[in-house]
Structure 1
Amino acid sequence: MRIEFDGGTLLLRGVNGDVPYSEWDDRVEDYRAHAYRYRSLLEWADAWDGATSSTAAEASNHQETIQSTTVAVEDTARAYPQLALDPALQIEPREYQQAALDAWRTHDRRGSVVLPTGSGKTFLGIQAIADAGVGTLVVAPTIDLMNQWHSTLTNAFGDQLPHRTGEGPEQSIGVLGGGSHEIRPITVTTYDSAYRYIDEYGDRFGLLIADEIHHLPAPTYRQIPEMTIAPYRLGLTATYERADDAHELLEDTDLIGPVVYEEEVDELAGEYLSEYETIHMQVELTDDERSQYDEEYGIYREYVDTHDFDLWKAEGYQEFLAHTSYDSDGRRALIAKQRAEELARTAAKKLDTLDTLLKRHHDDRTIIFTANNDFAYEISQEFIVPCITHQTKTDERTEILERFRTGEYSILATSQVLDEGIDVPAANVGIILSLGSARLSRNAM
């Protein structure tokens, strides 16, 4: 059997009889399988050797014939190299980081690790790259996070990887996204760029690292793990579970694997993360806001109650959304729900309470979290403080964060863009004004 990588899938040539994970393709008159079944197919054929035993010559021409008691396998799909890497800065892993790495290795180097922001998920990723010893693709949700990974990986492995004559070590790490298109043995990219090019480069990497993996189950992004042969896969996040339960797809379909290790914020606070205190403050709606809220929410609840949706389950809410696509009353109910939520998020008295809190913490470093851009900009204008949203240009964002780091700015407003993974300078007060950002922001502080 000859295995070939073909546009994000695997072609199985010269097969006699049925092959698991595959279907007959009349167009080419051969069996075809999803690329992510690469390792499973080799295991089925008794041809899986850990993908780390090829010689340099074999790795260069990307093919080898493995004799099996079941079938002879000629593997031409694999185009990723072996790498012998040691992080430049030798830092002893923290106890939970080592436990997470060991758990991932025990699960055949597949699965997700859930750790709070600030606990060193990127460090864990570096250790996984060195441990797997194969070409690696790191996927991040934003250009900022991609650049952050690029900088960290350059510091860790830049001098150990090949780069073209005349280029500095920073060019040894490939970048796919943000105007760059350089594929190297270790490459960083965004979810959007990976989705666009994974059918072309899905054979070039043996390890797939998905940062902020809760984004991956989206229908388009799901094609990233589907269309790569990477036998090793690592998901990293602080917020694994999704409201729509789509995270289960990563486990049930073997696209990434199960959660192999998890630590909560409270378990690491004190010894590894800063101690924190959470104070809940209730803000009353004005009479006009209350009247509008009750009217809009009443429209929504009346529709939901008359259709008997079970909104406590993701399937129930999906059923409600499906109705809104063809039922005018359903669409009105959805709009009413959104208006009620907006009223609660942007209640006028929140700004009064925020003013009191900022005066109380005038000597502190404070980040104000909101759930949408408009409210963040309103706060920025009202209190004359810098604001970062997804619309903020990279250079401007870098400058704002640097000034916050040095203390030139003591207050910063943001809308969720800082909730995930971005290295934010030390702040000792976080004010969460919108419930939509509460969970993520708690992990980000």
Structure 2
Amino acid sequence: MRCTKTRDVNGGGCGTKDLALGDLRKRRPSRAAGKQRARKRPGRPRRIFHFACFCAMEADFRARRREASLPAGNRTSGRGVPCGGIRILRPQCEQVCYAFPKGWPIEGRETATQDRSTLKLRDYQQECVEVCDALPPGSYLVQMATGLGKTVTFARLARRGRVLVLAHRKEILEQAQSYYDVPVGIEMAERASAGEPVVAASVASLVRRLDRFAPDDFDLVITDEAHHAVAPSYRKIYDYFKPRLHLGFTATPNRGDKVRLSDVYERIVFARDLKWGIDQGHLADIDCRQVTVDYDARKIKTSRNSTTGQQDFRLRDLDEALNTPETNDQIAAAYRRYAQGQTLVFAASVDHAYELARLIDGARVVEANTSPEERERLISGFGRGEFPCLVNNLVLTEGTDIPGIETVLIARPTKNPTLYTQMVGRGLRRGPGKESVRLVDCVGITYDSGLCAAPTLLGLDPEKVLARYRRQAVEGPLSTMEERFLSFDETPLSWALRAKRVDVLGRDEGWDLHDVNWVQLGDGSLTISTERVVLRIAPVDLVGASVLEIVDRKTGLVLSASEREPLQRLLDAAHERLSRKAADQRQLWDRKSADRWGSRPASPKQIALIEKLCAEAELSDLYDGLDGELTKAQAGQLITHLIERSKSERAAKARKGRADARQRRDIERLHRQGRVPDYVFRAIRFDELDGYTAWRIVKAAEEDAWDA
């Protein structure tokens, strides 16, 4: 008999000679003596497999049975084949052959419909595997955006023992079976593993079954959607097992509740975010749009998921708020105005989905009660363009591959960053002629800081942008959103109000700021200026780590940069440097010193200079946006920023191309004369120096800006 590559005996095979279970036992009478013969079950085809595969499989199983001391109920049935069925892979076969023992119930058993274990990894995926395989024992985090292939990446990690994959969604557990090239057991609901080398487990199920495993059963633990790792159910599992290596994989750049993951993971070892995927051409760019509809997100009750600890809106209350005639008409109008091409709509409930489909011409609905055959027909027809709009109620958030989607309309608000990323992710795959996907967010009439929106995809906080600029910052290509956030944060009104942000940072998130008068920028970074340098702490990552840079104030050159360390350690280092090297400038950086004089009203000279340097529209925004009169501290920050902006605008013409030979000679001459300090000269990279920076260095030296 020949291999069929399928579970049935019909069809062509790879040419390697195989034996059915009964044939194999007839050839090995000595070992089969006294054993129960396998028989073909009535009405079912025989399961066939390679002879060599069976021998290797049987030896492997016997070894694993000795090591794991499996209970009798999980041992072989008749011929040494595990009762769970073993997945057997041969190089000649494109698919997976299964061997099933006598009497095994086939219904409900997982089978592989597609072997993904031999997929060629992309360069960045291979790089991630090499980085993770070289890690010393410990607990580390990997950030990889939706659509960049987290599952196929962690399935290729080197196995030095058994592997545990943790997830809280059924889809991830099922995906793991097709990406691994060894048997994968499932721990979820009524299904249980049987000593397989890889176990994919639902967190909600495994947390109640820990007594079935020994603490040292697994060499490697992999947590998918690792931003949930601080939840109590996850922590109970981590406290029980003692693996050599724990790796967390996440696509979410931050947690919605601002909880850091440093209690679980030591550091981020590999990061490829959504913007990187777009810039490298792996993912489609996102054209972001916002539409205001008549609901108030602050009035919708929330509940906390007991497994992940993530808060989100209650489904019944969400349906009551969104599924109204007025709101539905507004959502349908948003579709007619903004949708382009094939449009996928996410609704708040099943009833909401049908109501929206009734208002959108040609729309169809797929929901949980849609039969598998009808669901496949609808998705296929939508992919072929037979109708323009498919409305669903969270049944197409994971695993749906429709490259032709050109618009994603979200009419189901959420506070869950993972869920939001999954909904948007349905449109990220690129296709022929598809460079971007349009994202239409239906937001409420009131601003809710916890509501997920397009900035969530990049870890940006819309609250950092003033309300009057917020919509302008959000709408447009996602690939340039970070730049828009920074540009709208560089306004006179923003400069005057920045100090309040850092007070909140220290109070709500528990950082000890040492009374340093930090300024927080729109991207979340912290800066403080002295007469000579600017100290800058980059935005913190998921484990609460960042980098401290020392930047020359006159030239913008980075004089030094720290290793990535916990934020509190950087705050301590910055305070120590300021106390040691800028003690005589305490009024510039110490909050208590600044508060003593800074709370007084701005002087007439300060106001006159501000009005001279500001445009008329900027002045109008400034005075309208302030709660009271301008203070000395606010005026001081404004004047500093305005003067720097004025210098930059006047010097912009010099910013074209590389620094020329004359500029380089001038810098070297000024350094020999002692007018460019050694610490500045050492920071200059002449092969990368641009004309603008060279101009600033020469100008600062000629003005004796560094004269002590």
Aligned residue for 1:347? 327
Aligned residue for 1:173? 184
- Structure 1 contact 143–178 (Cα < 8 Å) conserved: no
**Does structure 1 residue 96 correspond to structure 2 residue 73?**
no
Aligned residue for 1:133? 160
Displacement of 1:356 after TM fit?
Answer: 0.8
Indicate the larger mover: 273-282 or 395-404: 395-404
Partner of residue 119 from structure 1, selected from 148, 159, 166:
148
Aligned residue for 1:263? 272
- Structure 2 contact 144–250 (Cα < 8 Å) conserved: yes
Structure 1 residues 186, 398: CA separation in 2 closer, same or farther (over 3 Å shift)? farther
Q: RCO greater where, 1 or 2, for CA within 8 Å and sep 6 or more?
A: 1
Aligned residue for 1:196? 208
Structure 2 residue matching 1:269: 3-state secondary structure? helix
Determine the C-alpha separation between the residues in 2 that align with 1:435 and 1:274: 24
Displacement of 1:132 after TM fit?
Answer: 3.2
Structure 1 residues 147, 438: CA separation in 2 closer, same or farther (over 3 Å shift)? closer
Displacement of 1:135 after TM fit?
Answer: 0.8
Alignment of 1:279-358 (within 5 A): 279-283=288-292, 285=294, 293=296, 342=321, 347-356=327-336
Indicate the larger mover: 234-243 or 112-121: 234-243
Structure 1 residues 97, 175: CA separation in 2 closer, same or farther (over 3 Å shift)? same
- Structure 1 contact 199–228 (Cα < 8 Å) conserved: no
Determine the C-alpha separation between the residues in 2 that align with 1:115 and 1:387: 29
- Structure 2 contact 162–198 (Cα < 8 Å) conserved: yes
Structure 1 residues 240, 269: CA separation in 2 closer, same or farther (over 3 Å shift)? closer
Displacement of 1:267 after TM fit?
Answer: 1.0
Identity %: 21
Structure 1 residues 349, 149: CA separation in 2 closer, same or farther (over 3 Å shift)? same
* Letter aligned with residue 129 of structure 2: L
Displacement of 1:425 after TM fit?
Answer: 2.7
Structure 2 residue matching 1:282: 3-state secondary structure? strand
Aligned residue for 1:52? none
**Does structure 1 residue 273 correspond to structure 2 residue 282?**
yes
Determine the C-alpha separation between the residues in 2 that align with 1:97 and 1:265: 14
Aligned residue for 2:502? none
- Give a deviation string over 1:356-401, Cα, whole Å, max 9, x none: 158x54xx33221345565445435555522345x77878766755
Aligned residue for 1:424? 401
Displacement of 1:223 after TM fit?
Answer: 1.7
Indicate the larger mover: 116-125 or 100-109: 100-109
**Does structure 1 residue 224 correspond to structure 2 residue 201?**
no
Structure 1 residues 260, 340: CA separation in 2 closer, same or farther (over 3 Å shift)? same
Instruction: Report how many aligned residue pairs link the two structures.
Output: 301
- Give a deviation string over 1:101-141, Cα, whole Å, max 9, x none: 3333454263221111111111111121xx13321122222
Determine the C-alpha separation between the residues in 2 that align with 1:202 and 1:147: 24
Aligned residue for 2:366? 387
Displacement of 1:199 after TM fit?
Answer: 3.5
**Does structure 1 residue 182 correspond to structure 2 residue 160?**
no
Displacement of 1:232 after TM fit?
Answer: 1.6
**Does structure 1 residue 213 correspond to structure 2 residue 213?**
no
With normalisation by structure 2, the TM-score equals 0.36
- Give a deviation string over 1:387-428, Cα, whole Å, max 9, x none: 345x77878766755555566665333345544x53433223
* Letter aligned with residue 433 of structure 1: A
- Structure 1 contact 116–443 (Cα < 8 Å) conserved: no
- Structure 2 contact 186–192 (Cα < 8 Å) conserved: yes
Displacement of 1:197 after TM fit?
Answer: 1.5
Determine the C-alpha separation between the residues in 1 that align with 2:172 and 2:376: 12
Aligned residue for 1:414? 392
Determine the C-alpha separation between the residues in 1 that align with 2:246 and 2:120: 23
Aligned residue for 1:80? none
* Letter aligned with residue 145 of structure 1: I
Structure 1 residues 257, 395: CA separation in 2 closer, same or farther (over 3 Å shift)? farther
Structure 2 residue matching 1:117: 3-state secondary structure? coil
Structure 1 residues 58, 138: CA separation in 2 closer, same or farther (over 3 Å shift)? closer
- Structure 2 contact 151–175 (Cα < 8 Å) conserved: no
- Structure 2 contact 318–348 (Cα < 8 Å) conserved: no
Determine the C-alpha separation between the residues in 1 that align with 2:198 and 2:116: 15
Displacement of 1:217 after TM fit?
Answer: 2.6
Structure 2 residue matching 1:428: 3-state secondary structure? strand
Displacement of 1:99 after TM fit?
Answer: 3.0
- Structure 2 contact 332–356 (Cα < 8 Å) conserved: no
Structure 1 residues 241, 349: CA separation in 2 closer, same or farther (over 3 Å shift)? same
- Give a deviation string over 1:121-162, Cα, whole Å, max 9, x none: 11111121xx13321122222223322222222xxx1xxx4x
* Letter aligned with residue 119 of structure 1: L
Displacement of 1:269 after TM fit?
Answer: 1.4
Alignment of 1:48-87 (within 5 A): 60-61=66-67
* Letter aligned with residue 143 of structure 2: V
With normalisation by structure 1, the TM-score equals 0.55
- Give a deviation string over 1:175-213, Cα, whole Å, max 9, x none: 222532233111222222222223422543221111122
* Letter aligned with residue 366 of structure 2: C
Larger radius of gyration: 2
* Letter aligned with residue 423 of structure 2: S
